[in-house]
Structure 1
């Protein structure tokens, strides 16, 4: 552990020691009429109480106060619960320093549904591939600040009254409402800063809350606002598309037949990514009770993330020479991989390619909801909700230059297995003077839109005698639309002449020092302003124009429309020492899918542009199903609870898996595409859990679960003809295509929480998930997407009336992400260490210091045990906040 972590650890334990001393001087419990537990202890107690009283399998996180979840990020908070995993990316953009996706019980994030106050929220991403080619059903947590959250409920077992869509479970983020505040006027503000050590930047963080309710406690207004800025810098070695195999028809096979079928790196990159993230928005809620039996609520939420970014990737271009040229004698092949090779330079041949990509990017979400809660009489309650939500992710401008480099300089590499970066080098002139123009394919708009209108009507009929305590029944209708658009772009002119001689910058002097390996680090790049100016001034922007000379990229466009009607009935039972529910949910879904197919015959083409000729295609799917569920809870004694649950749940395929047109990358002739004939994933679930509440705020639980998933989504690779921008004709690409394949997961969850005295506490949990699929991947495995076999969390805290400290460590074992090019790729084991300190000198002020990624983890990705894919370092982050309350 390095010096910086040691300093923070010393600070934590100093606060613990000082706080313990201060606690000795506090009045004892016998001196007080009542003891109110707040802060960390209060939130833990409330969470356990909610979990214990629930009839179904439920995990709960309660915020200590506004903006004070157990972690700075909502997803980071949830990863500390048993059975919950997080990831920082939705496509293949690689690992970042902030959790962005949540998944449950060893499955992919798309099988976990995220709601806010029980309703869906339109979502979109800032990364361009997640806007068009890789669009799941998961929600981006980057748009959801912790200040929004009152509590979070993770439903692990299904109930008929829960909205369908979460095969493995549902996360429900619960916000505050005006009339729940105790005082007539409440105001809170947070002023702080975040320090990103690798980006060497300190940026502001602001949030505020104002709440008013009248003396009659029947009208209230809540307003929250936030503005948060953060710089990040990610340093990496990337191998885009993974390794490829030398074919029998490649020229080198004639001279070196021993290399046929051997895996070779297509691209080996020194990658520098920098981004400015600015998140701003707010929540407005108005609550009115015109009579005691009727409550009305109107809420509106908006969050926007500005995420402009600059990615530089200087890459040895193995696929440009390894198929043509034999390596020097002395090369080695181990386990089917060309592990060590040196190539002599051939005049005029580029041995490196340099991509510089500056993108303007945004992601935003908003919703408006109206709720009515009417207690019709003593035995009948009705709830109505209607709302609309929209998410949008947009990359309106891309400024991309691709240069050929290391001309005639030769190349070499040495691999060290999946756990270490590849040592590589290229010869020749690596400076701007040694580069030649390779081209540009950017400055093309990509926009994703996600929107839904919905209405729900729910009733609860209560009974005063017998085991049947109530019956819940209701209806829901939703009209959802997800669309990818790319109607505008720019045709490039003489960009290269303008770029030459423009302003340049240098990679950081300590670039990628945290990930190891020997590869080019002393690299130059054109500044973002130089790149943007050269492309803007030497390109012709074309708006929505079609035809052979247009920039309307039909191949990047698709639309999925879904109409969802559901009805349910659920009976709730209560006995002397048991309770539970049983129910049925009927779901009827109609899908309309619009996409495009690349064609070479003008007679078959409906539209055309510079991106080729395309035929419009339309598909329609209908899915109707009854989903049963049952939950039963046994109170074996005052402290021991046994739960058993069984259900069937369903999740529709990812939007891009259904609708995306086939697309390809010219660098390695791989790509992806959709399959409109995919069926929903249907899971049959069994769950049992034993919970021992052995003391206040104390819990030991052990549980097991099994999910048998029919029509799980996997990926196969097929050859397809796609339009190449390099050759202006159809070429053969290896395209990753989603398919249905059954799968299953069996797992065990263990959780432990215990206070130690009045002020200390520890917690730990462990999840084992054994998943497999009927699909055989290219590497011969039968893995499920997203399944980590082992996940564990350990933590400890101290808190008194003045001081608080918390430290936690989370670790997740390796898991399959998807395909990179035509190859399966995985994320390796990783763990994160975080800690927080708090000091409350008065009742109206508190100071907090949160440290994230304190162990500075390197996120490692690999294709196999012998073939790495990428290594990412993001650095540590420190959040200092001053909170004020009135």
Structure 2
């Protein structure tokens, strides 16, 4: 049995590859690197099938020196997974979300978080190095700018293995207070045959838009007979139509002021809350993701391995959002509701209003309608790395890497039209926090440009760049408990910048749209949301709106439309050195190390001048601004220790303690000032924030009671010093509609403390020859000082899946559940996503050794994403429908 375990360990090394990702594997699994000759001798190891992949993943987990979770390429191929986040969400302790800002969730996993924490506290690496982050949605680009990575740009096809590090080591790249995800790509010399080719041709059908779009990917690999040179190229092109039906209460719940006309005539309405701008939201999008991965490997000698890697993923994400709203803020404070209104628990839950005229005899607008087209929204990420690994002697090895990565999110154009509608009154009924608000307009207008407004073009460009160099060495000790010493250095320069250099002056867009083409919401709009609200709604087509803005706007490149208030630039220089001692005995192993990190931050942004005596540095139509530059320095020694004891071949105990560090989100440090003139609230940044330091403890017990079987339990805790939460302050700003200086309740990030503790349970077992089941459950209990919630903490997460596989057929059914969690701040209110469960399935047929067919189904239970604020009021509801992926796979 010892021989079997040794061969399994060697097979894992061979399967992961040595050159480009050896450092990543060693860091993840805590093992000393194999020699180049070992990797050459064993490059023909191949594991296929669900059962084989599970065995490989469990063997990797068992043999690792630290606490990790693993999913392999075969797992990806057999799971319903279309980006790396889909792949990871079924691991214990992993949670996913489908949005990063306040745009609401979509139908694709986008962010990954670990053990009840924010996605920004999870470090995402590819082959052991960072990757530039990029987002297509404007709020994620300029308002909620975190340090998490958008997984929508990482297709599952690139994965050889994904490793989740739940405990830290000194040699792991810092940045993940909660842990890290390391996505390992395939390498040319890993393949068994001299020439290998794989391809997939298929389509995705999205049932809500009723659309079918192509999905294509391909791989070619060549290596010479001597296994000294290899080349691999992967390409992918994936297109998809999205439709999202929704209801949003855009302005949240506002309060009727005691001195308002409505409260004076009806005193029982003073201080009562009402839904502000409930709307019927129809969002459509076409996503086109394309890119590829190129890998070269060369072994000029038995002791030297060189690797060159380049990856790019580019997503066009044009979208059109229409929101038809009840404009309650325009009439509720000024008009008493009809008799029969209902107030419950301080909320006006039912009210009807009859149409009236204003002081000028003009009809009051009871409805307002926004149409926002972003036809050029896009996101792109990529990297280039060069690796060199040198076995200098039997006792000493050296690896170096130099690389660059860049992510870019872009919104070149926003075509926005706003019209006033509904002149004969309306009303609403609030149905609790878990149900949409019923609302209506008495005579919703047809196509109109009444009360027209537009913002035209405003360009946003967001870039996330890093250049780095690393050198990692291992000294192997023969005899005694000390088996090796790892030490190294890493230098990185990271820049995050948001630019908005120009916009446009709108002309007679209303006149151009007066006879513009119109469309209508689908006849089944909102059917899966529940509730009663307008659905047969007109809109100007995206083409008509785009053409009207293009032909009737003047782009201002002279600086007049330079939106300085949205811009910032953060440059971070990071130098890290580490030393780690690795120990090993007959039944035990462990490591202990220190990582020293030195960081310099150069934070630059603009502060709006609210009528002060300060002479502005720059000015535009957005106002006067002063340049602000803050320099921060941080340094920290991060200790870590891991211990593993193997009672016998089946029982493994792990203990770990560490300190980890994550820098605050970019928008927290230098976030743009964003104000709502309607509610007099807003958000801003805080450049004085300190890094988040987490003190972590982890203990796990694993029982491998049969082949491909595991029963495990883990407990963990994280004490988060300098955790970033949000507080509110009152600050004066210029109201850009009135020109007056007015007080706004502004939410800013502040340092606090937080803690998370929890339990993970895992069960996997084959049943008979063809069946198997797996289940895991994670409990996480987290809070910040003062009892505030932590971003991302779901108390309960669980996964259930079952599979069948024989030589010809395979099938898997998987259900994932996540309980409600705190999403962040929205207009000075705590904002939550409600409980969510998703069902997915996959079926495969292997016709020959070279041809197979797969059918994957995502969101089979057609879930509704629900959001609410801390006081229990509803905020938003979204339905994205189901998706079905049919693929014909070829392999040579």
TM over 0.5: yes
Check 1:304–1:791 CA distance in 2 against 1; reply closer, same or farther (3 A cut): same
Residue 716 in structure 1 maps to residue 716 in structure 2 = no
Shift in Å at residue 783 of structure 1?
Answer: 1.1
Evaluate the alpha carbon distance shift between residue 757 and residue 865 of structure 1 in structure 2; reply closer, same or farther with a 3 A threshold.
Answer: farther
Instruction: Report whether the alignment pairs 1:612 with 2:623.
Output: yes
Check if 1:374 corresponds to 2:384.
no
> 2:168 aligns to what?
158
- 1:185 aligned residue (158, 174, 195): 195
- Give distance in 1, aligned partners of 2:415 and 2:569: 26
Q: Distance in 2 between matches of 1:684 and 1:746?
A: 11
SS at match of 1:46: helix
Displacement of 1:825: 1.3
| Residue in structure 2 matching 1:880, options 864, 886, 889 | 886
The match for 1:554 is 564
User: 2: CA distance between counterparts of 1:559 and 1:164?
Assistant: 22
> Which whole-Å CA distance do the structure 2 matches of 1:587 and 1:795 have between them?
41
Correspondent of 2:326 among 293, 316, 320: 316
Deviation, 1:660, is 1.4
Would you say 1:488 and 2:498 are equivalent positions? Answer: no
Name the CA distance, whole Å, in 2 between partners of 1:769 and 1:399: 43
Q: Which moved more, 1:340-349 or 1:61-70?
A: 61-70
Aligned to 2:555: 541
Tell me how far apart the structure 2 counterparts of residues 430 and 718 of structure 1 sit (CA, whole Å). Answer: 41
- For 1:575, the equivalent position in structure 2 comes to 585
With over 3 angstroms needed to count, the CA separation of the structure-2 counterparts of 1:619 and 1:160, relative to structure 1, is: same
Kept in 2, the 8 Å contact 1:566–1:588? The answer is yes
Q: CA deviation at 1:239?
A: 1.1
Tell me what 2:468 maps to. Answer: 454
1:17-59: per-residue Cα shift (whole Å, max 9, x none)? xxxxxxxxxxxxxxxxxx9862111111111011001111100
Structure 1 residue 728, shift from structure 2 partner:
4.2
Cα displacement (A) at 1:335 = 2.0
**Whole-Å Cα distance in 2 between the matches of residues 147 and 67 of structure 1?**
8
TM-score, normalised by the number of residues in structure 2: 0.93
8 Å contact from structure 1 (residues 241, 822) kept in 2: no
Matched, 1:333 2:343: yes
Residue 222 of structure 1 corresponds to which residue in structure 2?
232
Say whether the 8 Å CA contact 1:82–1:750 is kept in structure 2.
Answer: yes
In structure 2, list runs of 5 or more residues that go unmatched.
1-44, 358-362
Deviation at 1:739, TM superposition (A): 1.2
Distance in 2 between residues matched to 1:65 and 1:217, nearest whole Å: 27
The TM-score normalised by the length of structure 1 is 0.93
Q: 2:683 maps to which residue?
A: 672
1:563 deviates by 0.4
* Deviation digits for residues 408-460 of structure 1 (CA, Å, limit 9, x no counterpart): x2221111111110001122342124x51341124100111000000101011
| Helix, strand or coil at the partner of 1:308 | strand
Aligned equivalent of 1:169 = 179
Name 1:417's counterpart in structure 2. 432
Distance, in Å, in 2 between the alignment partners of 1:471 and 1:120 is 24
Contact 1:795–1:807, Cα closer than 8 Å, also in 2: yes
- Distance in 1 (alpha carbons) for counterparts of 2:250 and 2:722: 29
State how 1:128-527 maps to structure 2 within 5 Å.
128-347=138-357, 348-359=363-374, 360-407=376-423, 409-433=424-448, 436-527=450-541
Contact 1:307 1:362 in 2 (8 A): yes
Q: What secondary structure does 1:307 align onto? A: strand
How many angstroms apart in 1 are the aligned matches of 2:649 and 2:563?
A: 65
Aligned residues: 841
Residue 46 of structure 2 contacts residue 192 of structure 2 at CA under 8 Å; is this kept in 1? no
| CA shift digits 1:94-152 (9 cap, x unpaired) | 01000000000001100001000000000110001111111000000000011110010
Structure 1: distance between partners of 2:564 and 2:877: 34
- Residues of 2 paired with 1:70 and 1:486: CA distance? 39
CA 1:487–1:598: 2 relative to 1, 3 Å: same
RMSD: 1.5
CA contact (8 A) 2:50 2:78 kept: no
Cα drift, residue 603 of structure 1: 4.5
Residue 213 of structure 1 contacts residue 219 of structure 1 at CA under 8 Å; is this kept in 2? yes
Q: CA deviation at 1:353?
A: 1.0
Structure 1 position 699 matched with structure 2 position 710: yes
CA distance in 1, matches of 2:337, 2:882: 41
Structure 1, residues 596-628: CA drift from partner, whole Å, max 9, x if none?
A: 111124742111111111111111111110011
Relative to structure 1, the CA distance from residue 341 to residue 249 in structure 2 (aligned partners, 3 Å threshold; closer, same or farther) is: same
Deviations 1:831-861 (A, max 9, x none): 0000000111100011100000000000011
Residue 5 of structure 1 corresponds to: none
Q: 1:463 to 1:800 in 2, by over 3 A?
A: same
Residues 501 and 725 of structure 1, relative CA distance in 2, 3 Å threshold: farther
Q: What is the CA distance between 1:260 and its match in structure 2?
A: 3.0
Paired residue secondary structure (2:377):
strand
